[in-house]
Amino acid sequence: MKLSHFLIPVALPFLLSVPLAAQSVEIAQIDFQSDPFQSSSSTSNQDLTLKLNYGPSLVSAGADAGWSQSSGTLFARAMQLSGEPILALGKSSKNLPEDEDRVIETASFIEFSLAPKEDQRISLDELRVRIGSQRLAQNEKRTESFTTQFFIRSSVDDYQNTLGAGRIYLGAASSASNTHWEEIEVDLRSDPSFENISKEVQFRIYIYLTTSEPNWLQVARVDDIVLTGTIH
């Protein structure tokens, strides 16, 4: 028996009228190739205002924390050459909550804020931060092993909860090392606090070290901060 072929009608005009969800894109980036503190804006997106600040403990560090033109990164040494501490010291190399609470009190952080225009809203999907650790050298001085640790919090809950964390271990040596890099990736889509934002939201990257002997040659770095989401 020969089968007949039938075409099933499709309501094409109806399908085309269904609005598509806004696609998540990169809405802000700081790459630190130029001094972010001298630039009026660190993003090319004209619908956003992006600002960058240091926490008080890094501001008071002078030349031992800031923007490095040679590496195109932000950096902070564990302490000043005089022995004055810059970064807080943790008791564990595993990003424990009790260490994080103590670090918050020392205010050793990098802060950046994002704000939409008055008639705009933003929804954030993901935050990516490139973190680094480096051992410098001076007169064959031995530097003890250390773990550089980072964690991220936000103003949406008054900096109460950690969004993401990372750590990098470097062994003891008297020679310099290359910068060792890792990336913290934070998925913001599951938190409704990051949807339909109409006012400024701040993120803080807290930095601290765990080591038996902090010194001037232990360096933490931050590079390439990227936020993805939608503007509507």
Instruction: Write the CB contacts of 84 (distance below 8 Å, at least 6 apart in sequence).
Output: none
The helix or strand, by DSSP H or E, that contains position 103, with its residue range, turns out to be helix 97-106
As a whole number of angstroms, the distance between CA 67 and CA 73 comes to 6
- pTM comes to 0.86
As a whole number of angstroms, the distance between CA 214 and CA 218 comes to 7
pLDDT for 17 equals 40
CATH code of the region 24-231:
2.60.120
For the segment 109-118, what is each residue's pLDDT rounded down to a tens digit?
A: 999 998 888 8
| Amino acid letter for position 130 | R
For the segment 157-192, what is each residue's pLDDT rounded down to a tens digit?
A: 999 999 999 999 999 999 999 999 999 999 999 999
Task: Collect the ranges in the chain with pLDDT lower than 70.
Answer: 1-22, 38-47
Q: What is the CA radius of gyration of the chain?
A: 23
User: 111: which strand partners?
Assistant: 53, 204
